[in-house]
């Protein structure tokens, strides 16, 4: 299971990209913002794509009563997520090494993948909850209170994934480099599972 172990190790290590690259990116463009405002969402906090984007997004959002974009200390996620990712990397590498040495079964690789998938889904769910809260829990003293055609108050939840027109803004929400790295990393752990399975069968035969 040498090859499978190495693939498992590489796959888990790819998650480290999250400490350097954004997980998600939301861009807000409008006629008067020919260079769109944008935020990069990292597991350790949110940053503007350009230096003052966050301040400017907050400035715009205050018209409709949205909360300011959370600082690191405002959300538990930003302290927990790095720990979870760190632990998953360590666990993945450990399983990989043990697999390489033949101490654990290839099934552990899949186990890691399933655990990571569950955590990932929980993460996305949490992210979506935050977006909902951010886009709907508006200041009752908001300067502009807009209604939908059916008379319900307008909300401003950015899309979890994809494009949406929100008032005068074109909002794009797409995975960032970090997300693609997890994606590739997780695929590699599945590959490790199958390679490990093959290697195991070969050794049996």
Partner 1 sequence: MKKTINILIALIMAAGLVSCNNGGDQKSKKGGQGGLATNAAERVYVAPGEHDEFYGFMSGGFSGQLGVYGLPSGRLLKVLPVFSQNPENGWGYSEETKPMLNTSYGFVPWDDSHHPDISQTNGVLDGRWIFINGNNTPRIARIGLKSFKTEEIIEIPNSAGNHSSSFITENTEYVVAGTRFSVPVPQKDMSINEYKGNFKGALTFINVDQETGRMGIKFQLMMPGFNYDLSHPGRDKSHGWFFFTTYNTEEAHSLLEVNASQNDKDFIAAVNWKVIEEYVNNGGGTKVPANYAHNILDEHTHTATSTMLKEVLTVNPMDVPGAVYFLPTPKSPHGCDVDPTGEYIIGNGKLSADLTVHSFTKMLDAIENKKFDGEAYGIPILNFEDILAGVVKQPGLGPLHTEFDGNGNAYTTFFISSEVVKWKVGTWEVLDRQPVFYSVGHGMIPGGNSRKPFGKYFVALNKITKDRYLPTGPELTQSAQLFDITGDKMELLLDFPTIGEPHYAAAIPAELVAPNSTKIFKLAENKHKYAVLQDSDVRVERDGKDVHIYMNMIRSHFNPDNIEGVKVGDKVYFHITNHEQDFDVPHGFAVIGANNAELLIMPGATETLLWEPKQVGVWPFYCTDFCSALHQEMQGYIRVSPADSNIELSWSLGED
Options 2, 20, 59, 121; binder of partner 1; rule CB under 8 A: 59
**What is the nearest approach in angstroms of partner 1 to the Cβ of residue 139?**
13
In the complex with partner 1, the residue whose CB is nearer, 1 or 37, is: 37
In the complex with partner 1, the residue whose CB is nearer, 147 or 150, is: 147
Binding of residue 55 to partner 1 (CB under 8 A)? yes
Options 63, 125, 174, 183; binder of partner 1; rule CB under 8 A: 63
Binding of residue 56 to partner 1 (CB under 8 A)? yes
Question: How many residues sit in the footprint of partner 1 (CB under 8 A)?
Answer: 8
Residues 128 to 187 in contact with partner 1, rule: CB under 8 A? 143-144
**What is the nearest approach in angstroms of partner 1 to the Cβ of residue 56?**
5
**What is the nearest approach in angstroms of partner 1 to the Cβ of residue 52?**
4
Options 52, 125, 174, 183; binder of partner 1; rule CB under 8 A: 52
Q: What are phi and psi of 91, to 5 degrees?
A: -65, -45
**What is the nearest approach in angstroms of partner 1 to the Cβ of residue 74?**
18
What is the Cα–Cα distance from 44 to 202, expressed in whole angstroms?
Answer: 43
**What is the nearest approach in angstroms of partner 1 to the Cβ of residue 154?**
16
**What is the nearest approach in angstroms of partner 1 to the Cβ of residue 55?**
5
Binding of residue 73 to partner 1 (CB under 8 A)? no
The full 3-state SS of the chain, as one line of letters, equals: CHHHHHHHHHHHHHHHHHHCCCCEEEEEEECCEEEEEEEEEECCEEEECCCCHHHHHHHHHHHHCCCCCCCHHHCCHHHHHHHHHHHHHHHHHHHHHHHHCCCCCCHHHHHHHHHHHHHHHHHHHHHHHHHHHHHHCCCCCCCCCCECCCCCECCCCCCCCEEEEECCEEEEEEECHHHHHHHHHHHHHHHHHHHHHHHHHHHHC
* Chain positions contacting partner 1, by CB under 8 A: 51-52, 55-56, 59, 63, 143-144
């Amino acid at each position: 299971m040498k090859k499978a172990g190495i693939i498992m190790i590489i796959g888990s290590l790819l998650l480290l990209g999250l400490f350097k690259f954004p997980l998600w990116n939301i861009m807000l463009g409008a006629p008067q913002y020919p260079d769109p405002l944008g935020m990069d969402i990292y597991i350790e906090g949110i940053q503007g794509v350009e230096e003052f984007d966050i301040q400017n997004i907050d400035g715009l959002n205050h018209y409709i009563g949205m909360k300011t974009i959370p600082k690191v200390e405002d959300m538990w996620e930003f302290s927990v997520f790095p720990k979870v990712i760190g632990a998953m990397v360590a666990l993945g590498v450990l399983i990989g090494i043990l697999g390489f040495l033949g101490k654990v079964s290839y099934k552990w690789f899949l186990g890691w993948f399933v655990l990571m998938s569950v955590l990932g889904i929980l993460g996305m769910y949490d992210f979506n909850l935050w977006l909902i809260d951010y886009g709907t829990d508006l200041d009752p003293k908001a300067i502009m209170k807009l209604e939908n055609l059916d008379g319900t108050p307008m909300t401003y939840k950015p899309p979890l994934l994809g494009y949406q027109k929100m008032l005068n803004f074109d909002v794009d929400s797409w995975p960032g480099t970090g997300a693609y790295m997890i994606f590739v990393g997780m695929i590699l752990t599945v590959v490790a599972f199958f390679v490990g399975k093959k290697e195991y069968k070969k050794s049996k035969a």
